[in-house]
Amino acid sequence: MSDTYSRRLALLSQPEALAQLKHCLHGIERESLRVERNGRLAMTAHPKVLGSALTHSSITTDYSEALLEFITEAHPDSAQTLAELEDIHRFTATNLAQEVLWSPSMPGHLPKEEQIPIAEYGNSNIGKLKYVYRKGLAVRYGKTMQCIAGIHYNFSLPESVWTLLHDAEKDTRSAVDYQSARYIGLIRNFRRYSWLLMYLFGASPALDISFLRGREHQLDSFDEDTLYLPYATSLRMSDLGYQSNAQAGLTPCYNELSSYTDSLLRAVSTPYPDYQKIGTKQGDEWLQLNTNILQIENEYYSNMRPKRITQEGERPVEALIARGVQYVEARCIDINPFLPLGIDLPQARFLDTFLLFCALKDSPLLSDIECPAATENFLAVVKQGRKPKLQLNRCGESLPMLDWGLELLEQMQDCAQLLDNSYGITEHSEALAKQVEKLHNPDLTPSAQVLASMREQQCSFSQFALKLSLQHAQTLSTPALESNKTAHYQQLAEQSLQAQQTIEQQDQSSFDDYVAEFLASVE
């Protein structure tokens, strides 16, 4: 253990610091496709009873009209975050009529590409902009790719903890610059070690054959409807998931915040030849917002993002430049199809431990050797993480994944203990012990359990997923959500519909002028 890591752990073990650690914030965004009770993609409009996807703070849509996204507030205890997520799920499940929430990350049997409905947000300029942005995603990456669902886990340390560390280390940077630099350091460590999350929580080793649309692949056939890889943990996070030649040249450097924001600013203002050939409009019809590498910075697909809550009319990259990093968003978490919410409290407790470890452990700049090795390690684990004696590359040296994983989990024990001492519980340490078991026994991983269940039930991936989806729909509907909570979400839905109406009535400029003004804001 390094001196720096030991000193930080010792500092945060003091009573004053332990009291502050209870103010870490945890938020979850969970995506899930709406499907009919036969597993087919729902072609209906976003249910009005759920409110406006444009203005609702908790229930919205992502890419497709059928791809729901549930967003919790940031809570100081992960248990509160999961409780809110459950309430949102229960309210939604009760109001879906003849539809259910699809249980895994990978979609089931999909309709023809052109039939997949893009999310709509009404007639306001901002609503149309969100729609055209998604049309751009369709022409750039295809609609099928946009039907993948995941979980985004948001995490922050309280500013008081950063202040304690800043003062103890006698760092000469401003408090804002120090905090940003330390979050960027967290992200570098996340890049180094996130392969471990793929092994422990990857849950997409198989997919429906319709997903590949006849494309070439190197997957094995599980049955006539299902493709898989025997040792895969997360095909969602493999090169079968999001692919982008344009983004291949975009590798934001996580050595400092400015290098990250500079690369995003370049990408949203640099034309890309293939997108220029498509153009932005065909006659009066918008095809994409612009022909740049990224239409907007949110288009950049990464396993983790530095984030800052934006002010009204402010772009995410502007917020980061102006006020620094406020929290991080881990984006590589698969949905566990066996769980009604796709995630449970033990997993959240482990993620908190893992992210605190990434924040406190030394994080030197990624070298020219380590940077590509981190990517290769991640891809090796998503495709063959459960392969016996799998070797990974650590700083140019080959070592067994098992040995490295056990070493990391052992180093995390102090962070788990810190969090347990702060909250007065033992759940972080217990969650960590469960992960040690998974490293020793790959059959305990979600990816292994998915394949084992499919074999046991002799069913395709889509049949397996539908069975669980129907079970979860039943679980989430009984008992019914308490009447006061139901009333709360009904009120939020009504308020969001009124808010959308107000926005639509207030628009003054034409959509073309609105887009021009929006795009000019980052040039």
Average pLDDT, the chain: 95
Q: Look at residue 385 and tell me whether its pLDDT is greater than 60.
A: yes
Q: How confident is the model at residue 480 (pLDDT cuts 50, 70, 90)?
A: confident
Q: Look at residue 252 and tell me whether its pLDDT is greater than 80.
A: no
Angstrom distance (rounded) from CA 177 to CA 44: 47
Angstrom distance (rounded) from CA 163 to CA 359: 14
Instruction: Give the per-residue pLDDT at 285.
Output: 95
Q: What is the CATH number of domain 22-405+445-520?
A: 3.30.590.20
Instruction: Give the per-residue pLDDT at 427.
Output: 98
Q: How confident is the model at residue 191 (pLDDT cuts 50, 70, 90)?
A: very high
Task: Identify which of 121, 12, 112, 139 has the alpha carbon closest to the alpha carbon of residue 69.
Answer: 121
Angstrom distance (rounded) from CA 241 to CA 334: 12
A 10 A CB-CB count for 485 gives 15
Instruction: Give the per-residue pLDDT at 242.
Output: 56
Angle at the Cα of 228 (from 227 to 229), degrees rounded to 5? Answer: 145
The per-residue pLDDT for range 342-368, each reduced to its tens digit, is 999 999 999 999 999 999 999 999 888
Q: Kindly give the residue spans of alpha helices, DSSP state H, lying in 206-244.
A: none
Angstrom distance (rounded) from CA 421 to CA 299: 39
Q: Look at residue 369 and tell me whether its pLDDT is greater than 90.
A: no
Could you tell me the CA-to-CA distances from 438 to 432, 435, 469 in Å, in that order? 10, 5, 25
CB distance 303 to 152 below 8 Å: no
Angstrom distance (rounded) from CA 470 to CA 102: 9
CB distance 174 to 418 below 8 Å: no
Q: Look at residue 2 and tell me whether its pLDDT is greater than 90.
A: no
Angstrom distance (rounded) from CA 300 to CA 234: 20
CB distance 63 to 137 below 8 Å: yes
Half-sphere exposure of 448 (CA within 13 A, CB side): 13
Instruction: Give the per-residue pLDDT at 245.
Output: 66
Q: How confident is the model at residue 247 (pLDDT cuts 50, 70, 90)?
A: confident
3-class secondary structure, 256 = coil
Residue 341 corresponds to which tokens in the numbers above? 């919410």
Please report how the helices 3-12 and 159-168 are oriented relative to each other, as an axis angle in degrees rounded to 10: 130
Question: Which residues does 273 contact at the CB level (< 8 Å), separation at least 6?
Answer: none
Instruction: Give the per-residue pLDDT at 522.
Output: 67
Could you tell me the CA-to-CA distances from 516 to 64, 131, 289 in Å, in that order? 25, 16, 9
What is the mean pLDDT of the segment spanning 299-317? 91
Angstrom distance (rounded) from CA 257 to CA 242: 25
Angstrom distance (rounded) from CA 65 to CA 43: 8
Bond from prior residue into 479 cis (ω within 30 degrees of 0): yes
Angstrom distance (rounded) from CA 5 to CA 509: 54
Chain CA centroid to CA 320, Å: 19
Q: How confident is the model at residue 316 (pLDDT cuts 50, 70, 90)?
A: very high
Domain residue ranges of the chain, discontinuous segments joined by +: 22-405+445-520
The per-residue pLDDT for range 230-246, each reduced to its tens digit, is 999 999 999 876 556 67
Instruction: Give the per-residue pLDDT at 213.
Output: 85
Q: How confident is the model at residue 103 (pLDDT cuts 50, 70, 90)?
A: very high
In the chain the first and final C-alpha atoms are separated, in Å, by 45
Q: Is the dihedral of CA 508, 510, 516, 519 positive or negative?
A: positive
Angstrom distance (rounded) from CA 244 to CA 358: 28
The amino acid at residue 36 is E
Task: Identify which of 383, 79, 51 has the alpha carbon closest to the alpha carbon of residue 217.
Answer: 383
Task: Identify which of 451, 448, 414, 444 has the alpha carbon closest to the alpha carbon of residue 429.
Answer: 414
Q: What share of the chain has pLDDT > 90, as a percent?
A: 88
Residue 509 corresponds to which tokens in the numbers above? 């400029």
How buried is residue 314: exposed, middle or buried, by Cβ count under 10 Å (0-12/13-18/19+)? middle
Q: Look at residue 12 and tell me whether its pLDDT is greater than 60.
A: yes
Q: Quote helix, strand, coil % in the chain, to nearest 5.
A: 50, 15, 35
The per-residue pLDDT for range 402-451, each reduced to its tens digit, is 999 999 999 999 999 999 999 999 999 999 999 999 999 999 999 999 99
A 10 A CB-CB count for 484 gives 7
Could you tell me the CA-to-CA distances from 271 to 233, 302, 522 in Å, in that order? 36, 21, 14
Could you tell me the CA-to-CA distances from 404 to 237, 239, 353, 377, 450 in Å, in that order? 21, 24, 17, 12, 25
Task: Identify which of 419, 176, 75, 268 has the alpha carbon closest to the alpha carbon of residue 184.
Answer: 176
